[in-house]
Amino acid sequence: MNSVGEGCTELKREYDQCFNRWFAEKFLKGDRSADPCSELFHKYHTCVQKAIKEKDIPIEGVEFMGPNREKADS
Amino acid sequence: MGKYFFSETDIKSAWEQVLAAFWQRYPNPYSTHVLTEDVLFREVTPDNLLLSRRLLTKTSRLPRWAERVFPGNLSRSVYIIEDSVVDLGNRSLTTLTWNVNHAKLMRVVERCVFAGDQDRPVWTQITREAWISSGVFGLSRPIQEFGLARFRSNQVKAMKGLEHALSNLQKASAVCPGDSAEKHKNLNSASKTQKPQQYI
């Protein structure tokens, strides 16, 4: 799958591979040892944030689960 | 005002497998409308919840009558945020997905809960809700109806895409040595029961 930043796809793949392994082998088994993917994520994240700014994607300041607040009453 | 969609489906896969597949479901044969996928944020909280934010871009496909009214929208993809919380203790994944552009034309907010069945550990229940609204004066009703119809069709694709990812994961683990016939049995018997859909 491609990243929104054309030059970030390889970094994304490396991070995804690391995450998927950690998720299945550690997190799901209740192992709370440190996340081994933070460096990979940092490189990937830097690249994506640049692409987001360049493409003017409006995600700045969007609250986590923001619309959930609105749906609480429905 | 607006349209509401609700559905409940059980699938015969363990919650842990469904979650692994959830992260790996793109690309799949049913997701040609999904152009990009990125993780923007991830954190494990002190109480061991996994929070994530993903950004997706999807093609902006409008029916012809809408294309005539909103020609400018053709050039931009739709940007979608998917926020999620994995609660290992409860064996539940809650996701909230919504579009951050084209919102005045139509906004779709979808909430899904993937819950491991306590009594039947190899089953997972998927509850999907969506709220579809449009702010366009004079056209909100046809736009919302279009949105609801497209949402229903997309949720069928989403389920197929998830099952495709699950099947891939099962095949991959079936290649490993020391594998039992169990996994092959699961692959063949992946079935689902769907409760009647309700919408207003």
Which H or E run contains B58? strand B49-58
Task: Please check whether residue B5 is in contact with residue B152, taking contact to mean a CB–CB distance below 8 angstroms.
Answer: yes
Q: Token pair for residue B152?
A: 């229903």
Look up the ipTM and state it.
0.93
When CB atoms are compared, the residue of B37, B88, B109 closest to A28 is: B88
> Could you tell me the pTM of the whole model?
0.85
Q: Give the pLDDT of residue B175.
A: 64
Q: What is the mean pLDDT of residues A16-20?
A: 97
Task: Please give the Cα distance from B62 to B146 (Å, whole number).
Answer: 9
Q: What are phi and psi of B143, to 5 degrees?
A: -65, -45
Residue A57 vs residues A20, A49, B57, B74, B99: alpha-carbon distances, Å? 26, 10, 10, 16, 11
Which H or E run contains B140? helix B140-174
Nearest-by-CA chain A residue for B103: A58
Q: A29 pLDDT band (50/70/90 cuts)?
A: very high
* Whether A20 and B51 lie within 8 Å, measured CB to CB: no
Task: Please give the Cα distance from A23 to B20 (Å, whole number).
Answer: 7
Measured at the alpha carbon of residue B128, what is the angle toward residues A26 and B185, in degrees to the nearest 5? 55
Task: Please check whether residue B13 is in contact with residue B186, taking contact to mean a CB–CB distance below 8 angstroms.
Answer: yes
Nearest to B20 by CA among A24, A32, A41, A25: A24
Residues of chain B found within 8 Å of residue A4, distances taken between Cβ atoms? 36, 38, 55, 57
Q: Is the pLDDT of residue A59 over 50?
A: yes
- Domains for chain B: give ranges and CATH numbers: 3-171 (3.30.530.20)
Chain A 15-44, residues with CB within 8 Å of chain B CB atoms: 15-16, 19-20, 23-24, 27-28, 30, 32, 35, 41, 44
Which H or E run contains B21? helix B15-23
Nearest-CA distance B130 → chain A (Å): 10
**Parts of chain B with a pLDDT under 50:** 178-192, 196-200
Any B CB within 8 A of A11 CB = no
Q: Tell me: the pLDDT tens digits for B129-175?
A: 999 998 887 888 888 998 999 999 989 999 999 999 999 998 887 76
Cα-Cα-Cα-Cα dihedral sign, residues A47, A51, A57, A60? positive
Q: Give the pLDDT of residue B176.
A: 54
Nearest to B37 by CA among A1, A68, A40, A36: A1
Q: What are the sequence ranges of the domains in chain A?
A: 6-55
Residues of chain B found within 8 Å of residue A20, distances taken between Cβ atoms? 20, 23-24
Task: Please give the Cα distance from B183 to A15 (Å, whole number).
Answer: 28
Nearest-by-CA chain B residue for A30: B88
* Whether B79 and A8 lie within 8 Å, measured CB to CB: no
* Whether A32 and B48 lie within 8 Å, measured CB to CB: yes
Nearest to B41 by CA among A14, A8, A64: A64
What residues of B are in the A interface, CB distance below 8 Å? 4, 16, 19-20, 23-24, 26-27, 34-40, 42, 44, 48, 50-51, 53, 55, 57, 79, 81, 83, 85-86, 88, 96, 98, 100-101, 109, 111, 131
